[in-house]
Structure 1
């Protein structure tokens, strides 16, 4: 291949935003020569690799902007430590059908049992499938919305939580004091605006019967739950704490090393 043609192909590839082709043209040609590849096979190889790299770049960007604290998957979850957990139900959610249906999923249980891991794992799967995802704690969301409301930018800030197709909402971090009515109303606005328009992956260490105390208003809590639970898969996890297990293993290792 002449240098003139090579330069022209690289320039065209760059204009068509095919950077992998532009950067690796020589390697592609060598691989085609080595295997005596046909024209269609050569074109298929180039386009397939370019698409794969673009898709991986998209996924990395989507995961980065999602704000998730980690990117653990369902495969990373130790189901043997939570034998009462319905594995099939979790794996069914992992197909991301919930996001397509704009339905919700709620993981309930005490701290440390893996609720956030599973919620994030479902969000990661959604991200890889092409859905937009955003992660937040209830405390941080309320704080952000309250600050925006104070300066007249509530409508704009609400879009941060209503625009993504999947919202991961961690209720575990809510303080011990109930939310003020104005704060609870901000949560209601988010839930209401997302109702049947986008999915919520919720984690909570509070039973739904306790939400009246959390939101400081039984009527408002009921209105929130009506919208949240209308299309929702509820999964209770009542097993032992992973964090306690990991800590005990670390202590045992330290004792063994000291001995």
Structure 2
């Protein structure tokens, strides 16, 4: 069947068929609505075509973003817009804005967030991960202990290389809470292999409550820790954050509120 051979009455069924074959359901759903708008506003053929294609692309990108965020396995979805920057004056706004563009992922660069517990490192990591997903990059999030468990299970099953290759398909991996739980020598070696496998190949984002000088305590080996840090920071933005814990601050604010209420 061709367009020229089709009658006007047969156009809807023909377009429905063609959009199914081309896998463009949004065009199939909106071509009539946009055609009426085009006639009312005297669009050219080119303007009508562009409007249809834009609608299809926007819908596909939106669904792709939702899927990337879902498969990232964030513990919860948090955005940078929800983050109260006023409580973290040590964070440079220009650096955060640059990281939010996701260009570091395109360059296979890393991001390291260092600072005491409770100041919002995980929130920032998730927020930047969500931004990367919106920019079209695949993301995978987990805690450091869970990453080790995943690698240890693969190693025991004799498929560590296959697992590392699978992880390399993600443009950005986020390793949360490095330093909260110490690792033995075997775990440290697995962690090193994860970092080494992504060196200049894919981006890594790490949050840690420990400065680099104390990573040897976590990985049971100063040499392994130094080699890991060397690969992480070679192409990286390292943000050392200072500030009050959210929980401590919230408790302090609650006590102040109760004190004011008592005076009233």
Q: What is aligned with 1:238?
A: 242
Higher mean C-alpha deviation, range 33-42 or range 221-230: 33-42
Specify every segment of 5 or more residues in structure 2 that has no aligned partner in the other structure, as ranges. Answer: 1-6
TM-score (norm 2): 0.89
Aligned pairs (5 A) from 1:42-81 = 42-81=48-87
Residue pair 1:74, 1:91 contacting (<8 A) in 2 also: no
Deviations 1:139-173 (A, max 9, x none): 00101111121122222222343321111111347
Distance 1:249 1:20, change over 3 A: farther
Q: For 1:134, which of 123, 133, 140 is the aligned residue?
A: 140
Q: What is aligned with 1:2?
A: 8
In the alignment, the residues of structure 1 paired with residue 22 and residue 41 of structure 2 have an alpha-carbon distance, to the nearest angstrom, of 27
Higher mean C-alpha deviation, range 165-174 or range 39-48: 165-174
SS at match of 2:14: helix
Residue pair 2:101, 2:135 contacting (<8 A) in 1 also: no
Q: Following superposition, which runs of at least 4 residues in structure 1 exceed 6 angstroms of deviation?
A: 250-259
In the alignment, the residues of structure 2 paired with residue 247 and residue 30 of structure 1 have an alpha-carbon distance, to the nearest angstrom, of 58
Structure 2 residue 247 is matched with structure 1 residue 218: no
How far residue 22 of structure 1 moved from its aligned partner, in angstroms, is 1.1
Q: For 1:182, which of 182, 186, 205 is the aligned residue?
A: 186
In the alignment, the residues of structure 1 paired with residue 143 and residue 198 of structure 2 have an alpha-carbon distance, to the nearest angstrom, of 16
In the alignment, the residues of structure 1 paired with residue 260 and residue 51 of structure 2 have an alpha-carbon distance, to the nearest angstrom, of 54
Q: For 1:101, which of 81, 101, 107 is the aligned residue?
A: 107
In the alignment, the residues of structure 2 paired with residue 174 and residue 83 of structure 1 have an alpha-carbon distance, to the nearest angstrom, of 24
Structure 2 residue 41 is matched with structure 1 residue 29: no
In the alignment, the residues of structure 2 paired with residue 241 and residue 97 of structure 1 have an alpha-carbon distance, to the nearest angstrom, of 30
Q: What is aligned with 1:166?
A: 172
Structure 2 residue 62 is matched with structure 1 residue 20: no
Distance 1:188 1:217, change over 3 A: same
Q: What is aligned with 1:114?
A: 120
Q: Cα RMSD between the aligned structures? A: 2.3
Q: What is aligned with 2:3?
A: none
How far residue 25 of structure 1 moved from its aligned partner, in angstroms, is 2.9
Residue pair 1:138, 1:170 contacting (<8 A) in 2 also: yes
Q: What is aligned with 1:82?
A: 88
TM-score (norm 1): 0.90
Structure 2 residue 97 is matched with structure 1 residue 91: yes
